Homo-oligomer: A and B are copies of this chain.
């Protein structure tokens, strides 16, 4: 089992979906990643920052999942990062109604001393400069660095982002972002171009249409589990990344087969995330539920075929 360092936002979200709306609730990339990874019981630390307005109960919630929260800096006089969004009727697209960086604007991440030798580093969606700073603090010779990012950083800090991409082993990115980053429509061609930028493994997330894993000329595909109802997609991509990273921290199997299984665990955990608002479904999720859904995943995808 490896130690896992997660850097990303710990935040307030306010969400509107066709099914309802919330006031400020617990959100943030590192929150979803940490909750998903906690299913694997690897030693996990979150590196992040919140304001004095952040409720102790939210920090307790993470700590009670055995997540090390000592590197979540609390800026007493500051306010926590806040995002407000509204999903369209198909839940596949959304409008950002408000973004307040607050304490995130001046965030200087510090990896806890006893986590600097962690073998797994999960760089959640954040300013590439923060991701680079975290990477520079890590000391393990053989480590696996996983990057999640989004179009905002391609639009605004592309050069810095490319510097990060050159240093990571795995990138998770959605289909539109892969196309934007490479200028290629075909995801097969886009993945090859991203591979040339640095990462050995490229995971392209397609939301309700599943995820593709690329490695050299190998491709693996995992569908999203078909659900009766998607209630709130917020955090699904982060939960996928957290399941992916947590599985690898647990197994330390960085082969293609290991990555395939990590994708499946990521997809499975993400299928729970979208069933309720925010982190609600992930908070009480049991390993029995996860195992049951993995069985569903197998029957959804596995077959025996005879050539005719």
Q: Does A229 contact B (CB under 8 A)?
A: yes
For chain A, residues 205 to 257, give those with C-beta under 8 angstroms from any C-beta of chain B. Answer: 206, 209-210, 212, 218-221, 223, 226-230, 247, 250-251, 257
A303 to B258, CA, bound (A): 10
Among A2-10, A23-31, A158-166, A182-190, the stretch in contact with B: A182-190
- What number of A residues sit within 8 Å (CB to CB) of B? 43
Partner of A89, one of B185, B221, B228, B247: B185
Residues from chain B with a CB closer than 8 A to the CB of A308 are: 40, 247, 250-251, 265
Q: B301 touching A227 by the CB < 8 A rule? A: no
Residues on A lying within 8 angstroms of B by beta carbon are 40, 89-90, 185-189, 206, 209-210, 212, 218-221, 223, 226-230, 247, 250-251, 257, 260-261, 264-265, 291, 294, 298-308
What would 15 more interface pairs be, CB under 8 Å, given A210-B210, A221-B226, A301-B303? A189-B228, A206-B209, A209-B210, A210-B223, A212-B226, A220-B303, A221-B300, A247-B308, A257-B303, A257-B304, A291-B307, A294-B305, A294-B307, A298-B305, A302-B303
- Top 10 A-B pairs, shortest CB-CB distance: A209-B209, A221-B223, A188-B228, A260-B303, A188-B226, A261-B305, A221-B300, A291-B307, A250-B308, A301-B301
